[in-house]
Amino acid sequence: MPIDVGSIASDFTLKDQSGKPRSLKDYRGRIVVLYFYPEDDTPLCTTQACQFRDNTPDLAEAGAVVLGISPQGVASKRAFADKFELPFPLLADDEPSPDRPRVSTRYGAWGEKNMYGKTIIGMARTTYLIDADGRVAKRWDRVKTPKHGAVVLAAVREFQAGSKGTSERKPSSRAKKAARRKRV
């Protein structure tokens, strides 16, 4: 079952392409583009990863970091990242629980899907936009690869603009308390 927009994104720790453990909580304070993809170094997955690669400077400028997750191991992630010069962490969800990738399952990216008219169990291309507080701001289910990187970049920029606009219009609870203290 996917994590709903507005809910806290479930924390996890997975190894990246260098074998370094990465936890979602380590990215608090930043916007996270968390994308789930079926397999390293396959045509559509490569297209999707390269779109994120090409948009990484603009995403970083908007305050976002990209994390990719699939069920292959660290060695596969390393080869994929090296071959296509992917500048962001690729995380190995390769420790099944019991026979499914645990993080992908928790995020609703692993399950039944229709492929060429057959129902199979596997990864459904899914992307989450997680805000700086760790809440799901947006979710794309059954992602279509063409132009997805640009769509996500536009959403990050829109989210940033809305967040800045919102904070300018609504004072924080701390600011409200300070204003009450001044009045007393």
Of 45, 66, 86, 153, the catalytic one is: 45
132 contacts 167 by C-beta, under 8 angstroms: no
Please indicate whether residue 45 is annotated as part of the active site.
yes
Rounded Cα gap, residues 153 and 163, in angstroms: 15
Residues labelled catalytic: 45
